[in-house]
Each structure stands twice: as structure tokens, then as C-alpha cells.
Amino acid sequence: MPVEAFVMIGVEDRKQNNIEVHWFTDGSCQFRHLQNARFSAFNISVDLCSNDQERCQYAKDFKSPCMIPPSVVPVLSSRTPGEQDILLSDIQR
């Protein structure tokens, strides 16, 4: 099953069962001090755990090997459009 379908099914299942869906975003700007070399990107991920107890158990299990739990699924990663000059990736309007 493609990741996109897996995420859509997981999110829809949680919505139908009134389970809160946890989304995470992050971004960064590299070489922000170099006007001609800097670039930035961002990521959106979703946590498909069914409850906080499951989420806490995954956090304990994956803390030591410093790995991302299988419940956290990347949804979108991309370069950020526009000129960037801050530590984070920011979509400017």
C-alpha cells in the first residue's frame, strides 16, 4: 500500500472514531549567512497512535536507539519557496 493511502486511511479512521490526530511540522534554513548558498526545507508528519498510552510506550521504546517510532509517518517534505534568512524554514507572504 502506498504511504499516501496508508496515511489517509489512518487519519480517516481516527476522525471517524473521534481520536485526536497529532501532526508535527519542522523546518530549517541551512547556510543562512551565505546569500547565494542558503536553502531551507520543511517536513510535515502525522502520528498514527490510537491513544496517549500507546504514544508514551513508543516514546520509551524508541528513546534509547534514538529512532523514530513507526507510528510517526512523513506526509510531506519540500524545499521552502522564497528567500530565507532565519534559522527556521518560513513561508513568507
Q: pTM for the whole thing?
A: 0.73
pLDDT value of position 91: 60
pLDDT value of position 53: 93
For the chain, give every domain's residue range.
3-79
Q: In terms of C-beta distances under 8 Å and separation of at least 24 residues, what long-range contacts does 77-86 make, across chains too?
A: 77/41, 77/42, 77/43, 77/44, 78/41, 78/42, 79/39, 79/40, 79/41, 80/27, 80/29, 80/40, 80/41, 80/42, 84/29, 84/32, 84/38, 84/39, 84/40, 85/29, 85/32, 85/38, 86/29, 86/32
- Nearest C-alpha neighbor of 71 from the set 23, 15, 17: 23
pLDDT digits (tens, 9 = 90+) for 9-56: 888 988 899 988 889 988 888 887 887 888 888 899 999 998 999 989
**Mean predicted confidence (pLDDT) in 68-89:** 80
**Mean predicted confidence (pLDDT) in 73-78:** 90
